[in-house]
Chains A and B, each alone.
Chain A
Amino acid sequence: MVALTVNGKTHQVDVDPDTPLLYVLRGELELNAAKYGCGLGQCGACTVLVDGEPVFSCVTPVLVLEGRKVTTVEGLGTLEAPGPLQQAFIEEQAAQCGYCIAGMMMRAQALLQRNAAATDEEIKAHMEPNLCRCGTHMRIMAAIKRAGKLMQTASAASTGRTG
């Protein structure tokens, strides 16, 4: 049994400790967002956040995740109440097949929560590990920038309210 905290909820999962996180998310917790793309840490389709940092869940054994916080696209919002990145990807129609998109969003989330005003060059450099075969890159860039703006507006609004 491994105790795993995903999107704020703790789960006891009964898997071999060498099982990569990806298979636990998809197989045990039935979360769809993180995708199998290569299993080799080469494409980013499986990217999730661990304690706020992007990791390739396909090469991260579940064993090392005891006590750490895992966030997936499901933790960013829902169909009914999409988070800023989700909203921005919908508004920019930033998907063709969309298979790479969940991984793109999680890597982008790691950047934006540090720096919601990241420049084009910063975004490109940060997104470098993730591959998209459909050539959706331009819209992915636009969606990340839009999400950054949404986050800035939201945080300005909440600062306004609380301060």
Chain B
Amino acid sequence: MERVTLADLNRRSVLFGTGALVLAFTLKPALAQTKSPGDETQNFQAVAQPAPELPGSLKTNPNLESWLRVEASGKATIFTGKAELGQGIKTALLQIAAEELKIPFERLSLVGPDTVLSPNEGYTAGSHSIQDSGTAIRHAAAQAREILLAEAGRRLSVPVEQLRAADGAITGPGGEKLGYGELVSDHLIEGRAQPTSKLTAPDQFVEMGKPRRRIDIPAKVTGGAAYIQDMRPDGMLHGRIVRPPSPGARLQAVDLSQAETMPGVVKVIRDGNFLAVIADKEWQAIKAMRALSAAAQWQETATLPDMADLPAVLMAMPADDGIVADKRGPVSAARSEEATFTRPYQIHGSIGPSCGLAQLVDGLTTVWTHTQGVYPDQKAIAQMLGVPIEKVRCIHVEGSGCYGHNGADDAGADAALLAQVVPGRPVRVQWMREQEHAWEPFSPGMVTKVRAGLDDKGNVVDWNYELWSNGHNSRPGTAGALLGAQHIAKAFPLDAQKLQITPEGNGDRNSNPLYAFPSRHVVWHFLADAPIRVSALRGLGAYMNVFSIENFMDDLASKAGADPVEYRLRHLDDQRARDVVERAARNFGWKAGQKAPEDHGFGFAFARYKNLAAYCAVAMEVKVEKETGRVRLIRATSAVDAGEVVNPDGVANQVQGGIIQAASWTLYEAATFDRTRITSVDWSTYPIMRFDALPQAVDVDIIPRPGTPFLGAGECGQGPGGAAVANAITNAIGRRIYDLPLTREKVRAAAQLRA
């Protein structure tokens, strides 16, 4: 009788029932890692949280079967709602699953994001993938392993404590072995997860914390089908969009006939201000696009701000004030210093322009997209098409690196629109370079103003910081967030941006310094009107805020006659912050009072990303050719504390890349426009980092913190990386430049003023 009961036992009763089988869950308290810091709601906008007590994304998807499935073959499938964006997330998530499930890495495969198959984890953004999805997968895998142990214990009639899970099998005390494939049955690993799990102790790790080669790289270096651009479903057609010449342009007239008669052309589409062609071959589509573009007459309006006067324009715009920090103490400042910093609009500039693929079959539109959020896109695209949400399926396929909200969602929506015109046929829409440069949502221009009250030793006793910026997130949302939906005749309006002050921050991200200033006031002058389409670029406001704070800290240090590293440490209580600062300085060979070689400069910067994710300090050496203003990076040394690290080489790769990318933003990048049109439309009008400016080395030293929560690391290098370049240039030329980017012309002028 008892045997029968046990045979019927499903996992729900294993977890919630009473008796021996539950012991596995109650014997030991759960190890650390049940909670990651941060307000995860940002990435879960509009995602219901049925289980807020559960760790990571189990909050939104509490059932084990949402996360993994063990197959009878002994293999397992892991499901994630987070997208591979070139940050190596697939590999890291599988490492976590392999570790906790106790299964060889090679037996795992990963599915998702896909609105049919994978959990809804909102957006892949904000360095959250390991924190959200990794935490959920870790707990789900650990709980699945305990279920398998319990099932083996039952079959072998051995107490669970005498069993060992390893290599995808459970071994008993006498060496008897049951593979996971033998143990698993329908519904065994299902139902709601528990809030705590029996996690593997870090000193037992065989997979996590070990560098592992990324699973996506071999295909990428051998011509495998690795990207959405490489998809060629049967019957695929090629679409191209003709975008208006400027954001305010309206279509006056267009003659479709020439494009319609061109070879290979299947359809020419006009829908309001939305113009497109569909052709058999890609080059035919491009030629038809050009012909259609030439045949269109637009009425253009000047809607763009005055680029030459951008800071003043931003500061004069109506603003909602959000108080980020307000902690005023009694202050007796001996004197004060202030500075204003500006940043132009900048772009994501993916090397591969955005691409979307869609097919309408029996009323269901399937969209393959390199979006960061399949579920939000599903909703927005369904709204745009005027169909119920279940009539759209979005499947993530990797694209070129996006670094935030680029044209991915828009290209997916474009493809969905074109797919309606040729039912049954898959349509691939590839944006042109000029379209990506001009139409992707930019990262907003910003102004920051900082004033510090100082004591007689030059230490900060009072800190006032203001920033002027649009919101940095206009992701869908509603259909109005999609470019195509703004252009079609039945146009959808853009979602209004609202000021929100959250722990993670937006434009105000990292605007509140981690330094232990006794009195502080930080305010975001939130600009609701966006004269240029803007959205999330890697780090949101953190890059500019850290740039401003860390440049200013160097100014203050120099006024106090202090070494920049020592001056920072004076103001830092947080031990982990001190550790990365000291480690980066030591590895660099930083010495107080040292002088860089002729024409060289040393710079230092620090931040804890979002004040709650990874800590990062960067020391940088640059060389400046004073006659030309040309800057070369010589070497960069960084120290990072990302809590528990899953794939150290993956973190190193992300931080190295982040520092180089931030150096590029800092030295070269500004979107340009006249009052009507965007004028930075290719790589010659929007230059970025090239090989000649590269340093000899970018070192990343990861401070191990086993057993502590994961701290998102993918964006932690952006702020300190950029600020360290600026501080090094200042050190080399003896003058600071307050307006980004620090172009050759500005560096040359500043160096000459000094000389």
Contact = CB atoms under 8 A, between A and B. Distances in A.
B653 A36 contact: no
Interface in A114-153: 120, 123-125, 127-128, 130-139, 141
Contact of A137 (B220, B286, B660): B660
Q: Which of B87, B227, B282 is the most central at the interface, judged by chain A CB atoms within 10 Å of its CB?
A: B282
B222 A86 contact: yes
Interface string A90-113: 100101111111100100000000
A102 B223 CA distance: 8
A74 interface: yes
A39 B281 contact: no
Contacts of B218: 79, 82, 90
Given A82-B221, A97-B401, A27 B281 contact: yes
A65 interface: no
A77 interface: yes
Interface string B218-234: 11111111110110100
B688 A36 contact: no
Interface string A1-36: 000000000000001101110010011001111011
Contacts of B657: 96, 134-136
Given A73-B221, A128-B691, A135-B659, A96 B401 contact: yes
Interface residues of A, number: 60
Contact of A32 (B225, B281, B349, B691): B225
B639 interface: no
A79 B225 CA distance: 12
Nearest to A78: B222
Nearest to B698: A138
Interface string B639-671: 000000000010001101111110010000000
Contacts of A133: 349-351, 400-401, 403, 661, 688
Contacts of A72: 223
Contacts of B229: 35-36
Contacts of B86: 95-99, 134
B223 A139 contact: no
Interface in B358-394: none
A51 B682 CA distance: 29
A96 B87 contact: yes
Contacts of B217: 89-90, 93, 95, 98
A39 B656 CA distance: 28
Interface in A33-78: 33, 35-40, 42-43, 45, 72-74, 76-78
A78 to B, nearest CB: 6
A52 B286 CA distance: 29
A125 B692 contact: yes
B279 to A, nearest CB: 11
Given A133-B401, A137-B691, A93 B653 contact: yes
Q: Provide the main secondary structure of the chain B interface.
A: loop
Interface string B388-423: 000000000011110100000000000000000000
A37 B664 contact: no
Given A37-B352, A93-B214, A134-B401, A77 B222 contact: yes
Given A95-B221, A133-B350, A37 B433 contact: yes
B584 to A, nearest CB: 17
Given A36-B229, A99-B352, A128-B692, A135 B661 contact: yes
Contacts of B696: 120
A23 B221 CA distance: 19
Contact of B216 (A19, A26, A98): A98
Contacts of A128: 690-692
A138 B222 contact: no
Interface string B141-162: 0000000000000000000000
A90 B218 CA distance: 6
A139 B654 CA distance: 11
A124 B283 contact: no
Contacts of A78: 222
Given A31-B223, A98-B226, A39 B433 contact: yes
A163 to B, nearest CB: 32
Contacts of A141: 691, 694
Contact of B221 (A98, A125, A138): A98
Contact of B689 (A18, A127, A137, A139): A137
B656 A135 contact: yes
A45 B351 contact: yes
Contacts of B658: 135
Contact of B224 (A32, A45, A99, A127): A32
Interface residues of B, number: 63
Contact of B281 (A15, A40, A138): A15
Contact of B661 (A30, A36, A134): A134
A38 B682 contact: yes
A18 B287 CA distance: 11
Nearest to A96: B86
B352 A36 contact: yes
Contact of B656 (A18, A99, A138): A138
Given A33-B223, A98-B86, A100-B351, A42 B400 contact: no
Contacts of B230: 32
B117 interface: no
A93 B649 contact: yes
Contacts of A136: 653, 656-657, 660
A136 B87 CA distance: 11
Contacts of B351: 35, 37, 43, 45, 97, 99-100, 131-134
Nearest to B216: A98
A90 B691 contact: no
A138 B223 contact: no
Nearest to A88: B221
A40 B691 contact: no
Contacts of A39: 286, 432-433
A98 B428 CA distance: 21
Nearest to B650: A93
A45 B683 CA distance: 13
A98 B220 contact: yes
B430 interface: yes
B18 interface: no
Q: Which of B217, B222, B430, B661 is the most central at the interface, judged by chain A CB atoms within 10 Å of its CB?
A: B222
A43 B692 CA distance: 15
Nearest to B401: A97
Given A132-B351, A137-B660, A139-B656, A73 B692 contact: no
A105 B220 CA distance: 11
Contact of B683 (A16, A42, A89, A134): A42
A32 B352 contact: no
B684 interface: yes
B728 to A, nearest CB: 17
B85 interface: yes
B353 interface: yes
Contacts of A131: 351, 683, 688, 690
B213 interface: yes
B740 to A, nearest CB: 18
Contacts of B430: 36
Contacts of A18: 283
Contacts of A98: 86, 216-217, 220-221, 226
20 contacts: A15-B281, A16-B283, A20-B283, A23-B283, A32-B223, A33-B223, A35-B227, A36-B229, A93-B214, A93-B217, A93-B649, A96-B87, A98-B226, A99-B401, A102-B220, A124-B692, A128-B692, A130-B691, A133-B688, A136-B656
Given A74-B223, A86-B221, 10 more contacts: A16-B284, A26-B282, A27-B281, A37-B352, A42-B683, A89-B217, A98-B216, A127-B691, A141-B691, A141-B694
Interface of B: 85-88, 213-214, 216-227, 229-230, 232, 263, 281-284, 286, 349-353, 398-401, 403, 430, 432-433, 649, 653-654, 656-661, 664, 682-684, 688-692, 694-698
Per CB-CB distance, the 8 closest pairs between chain A and chain B, nearest first, are A97-B86, A135-B660, A97-B401, A135-B657, A33-B223, A98-B220, A99-B400, A38-B433
